[in-house]
Amino acid sequence: MAPYRAVHSIDELRAAIAELGLPAVLKTTRLGYDGKGQRVLREPGDAEAAFAELAPHPLVLEAFVPFEKEISVVVARGLDGTVRAFDAAENVHRHHILHTSTVPADVPAGVEKHAAMLAKVIVVALDYVGVLGVEFFVIPGDRPTLMVNEIAPRVHNSGHWTEAVCLTDQFEQHIRAVAGWPLGDPRRMADVVMQNLIGDEVEMVPGGLDGDTQPHLYGKAEARPGRKMGHINRIVRG
Amino acid sequence: MAPYRAVHSIDELRAAIAELGLPAVLKTTRLGYDGKGQRVLREPGDAEAAFAELAPHPLVLEAFVPFEKEISVVVARGLDGTVRAFDAAENVHRHHILHTSTVPADVPAGVEKHAAMLAKVIVVALDYVGVLGVEFFVIPGDRPTLMVNEIAPRVHNSGHWTEAVCLTDQFEQHIRAVAGWPLGDPRRMADVVMQNLIGDEVEMVPGGLDGDTQPHLYGKAEARPGRKMGHINRIVRG
């Protein structure tokens, strides 16, 4: 976990900046997603405007983590305590919104194994039943390390690729878990890239698609900028 | 195709029996499925009751085919003329209703290849767009031969296994075809057995299921005998 300080006032924010240094990320502690509810502070002069924008919610200032990339693991725990993880995905964001999840992730095997183990530890520690997404920063170094970035207690955008190439996908797995059924086999049968369709990007369907690409549209009436309108899964021939 | 005679009267039926021999199968030419609309005639005395039951529809008498087993191929043709076949399934019936479809079929590789080729020839010859099921009798012999038993211009019960283990399933493939999209990759990623749930068999869900079994229920209100209530796909670990 990144070092952080609770922030209730502009004075507390200034003190937190002095302690943690810059850059740092100011975040709300409620309802943040897709970059909403957070501001990156690069210099002391950024503090006031960012605080004004995000207050009066309770805030935290987090030290900036110099991560190399983000990976995520979707893990499931059944009512009987069985735990099964899907393969790790490598996530690329654009404008703070998930752009692509690529599987397999381009990380050393040891890193992927470690991520799966951490996701399983988390789902057991929470005594959670269902599907849960865990995002990790990969911190570069002689031996890359992992830092948990986000825990999402639900099916996860970075797990939508499982629909295309796994014997059991994350949606079926979640239903199996909460219905008290045995978890299904999460094996991945091919390589895959999931790409979100944000705003106008949804117009690439169906024109831009080939036979290895499966579109999923969410049926939202209006394609507003930054709005997740659907996603495509592109199966990579082995 | 099996030898057959058109039958409009009991006299025509008797003449057809004299020509084709017994056993033979009397069939309606309209709306037959799941053994409905057909009677096996084993001796001359069966003729009158069977005719009375199936008339006044136009009927045919078909010579009995001494088949060893039934296989089927679900094939798709796109709007652009592309043709792709799923792997052949081996079908077992109970009480004239499909019980299981097992993939791969237990037939020589040459037989499966031949079946796929015939299915492709049929879908092209019909200038058909969409998914189409072709059933074949496998006739035993030094070199087993195939006889087309049924053509179904739609997604087919014996293709429901594709949902569990193919990169593209028959439902997606049909939509792709009729929407004018490129056909998807029908590759099969694991062995599988589809089992229909007929009448009360639907009660085995969820109790009798393990993690490799995916249930599909059709939401029919009443489980009448002989009624297809759902199916399960059992993935066979490789």
Residues A121-161: pLDDT tens digits?
Answer: 999 999 999 999 999 999 998 888 999 999 999 999 999 99
Strand partners, A62: A4, A25
CA distance A237 to B116: 22
Cβ of A211 and B237 within 8 Å? Answer: no
pLDDT at A101 over 90: yes
A186 interfacial to chain B (CB closer than 8 Å) = no
- Looking at residue B184, the DSSP 8-state letter turns out to be P
Q: List the single best residue of B162, B166, B167 to mutate versus A (max A Cβ within 10 A).
A: B167
Q: Is B56's pLDDT higher than 90?
A: no
From CA A115, how far away is CA A134, in angstroms rounded?
A: 9
pLDDT of B55 > 90? The answer is: no
For residue B198, the distance in angstroms to the closest alpha carbon of chain A comes to 22
Under 8 Å between Cβ of B214 and B164: yes
B74 sits in which H/E element: strand B69-77
Strand order in the sheet with A4-7: A4-7, A59-63, A24-28, A38-41
Is B181 within 8 Å of A235 when comparing Cβ atoms?
A: no
Beta bridge partners, B194, equal: B101, B233
B80 touches chain A (CB under 8 A): no
Is the Cβ of B219 closer than 8 Å to some Cβ of chain A?
A: no
pLDDT score for A59 = 94
Residue A8 near residue A60, CB atoms below 8 Å: no
Cβ contact (<8 Å) for A190 and B189? yes
DSSP code, position B188: B
Q: Rounded distance, CA A208 to CA A221, Å?
A: 21
Here the ipTM equals: 0.79
Pick from B172, B184, B206: CB nearest A181: B206
Tell me the three-class secondary structure of B12-26, residue by residue.
HHHHHHHHHCCCEEE
- For residue A158, the model assigns a pLDDT of 98
pLDDT in tens, A154-174: 999 999 999 999 999 999 999
Q: Taking the alpha carbons of A65, A66, A71, A73 in that order, is the dihedral positive or negative?
A: negative
What pLDDT digit, counting tens, does each position of B93-147 carry?
A: 998 899 999 999 999 999 999 999 999 999 999 999 999 999 999 999 888 899 9
Using an 8 Å CB-CB cutoff, list chain A residues near B212. 167, 184-185
- A–B: how many Cβ contacts below 8 A? 53
**SS3 state at B11:** helix
pTM above 0.90, yes or no: no
- CA distances to A111, A113, A118, A182, B43 from A145, in Å: 8, 12, 12, 33, 80
Q: pLDDT tens digits, residue range A37-51? A: 889 999 999 999 999
Closest-CA residue of chain A to B212: A184
Tell me the pLDDT of chain B averaged across its residues. Answer: 93
Residue A74, phi then psi, degrees to nearest 5: -95, 125
Task: Tell me which residue has tokens 């003329």.
Answer: B81
Q: How far apart are CA B20 and CA B64, in angstroms?
A: 9
The answer to whether A194 touches A171, Cβ cutoff 8 Å, is no
Three-state secondary structure of chain A = CCCEEEECCHHHHHHHHHHHCCCEEEEECCCCECCECEEEECCHHHHHHHHHHHCCCCEEEEECCCCCEEEEEEEEECCCCCEEECCCEEEEEECCEEEEEEECCCCCHHHHHHHHHHHHHHHHHCCCCEEEEEEEEEECCCCCEEEEEEEECCCCHHHCCHHHHECCCHHHHHHHHHCCCCCCCCCECCEEEEEEEEHHHHHHCCCCCCCCEEEEECCCCCCCCCCEEEEEEEEECC
H/E stretch holding B228 = strand B228-236
Contact in structure between A234 and A193 (CB atoms under 8 Å): yes
The percent helix, strand, coil of chain B (3-state, each to 5) is: 25, 35, 40
**A12–chain B Cβ distance below 8 A for any pair:** no
Q: Rounded mean pLDDT of chain A?
A: 93
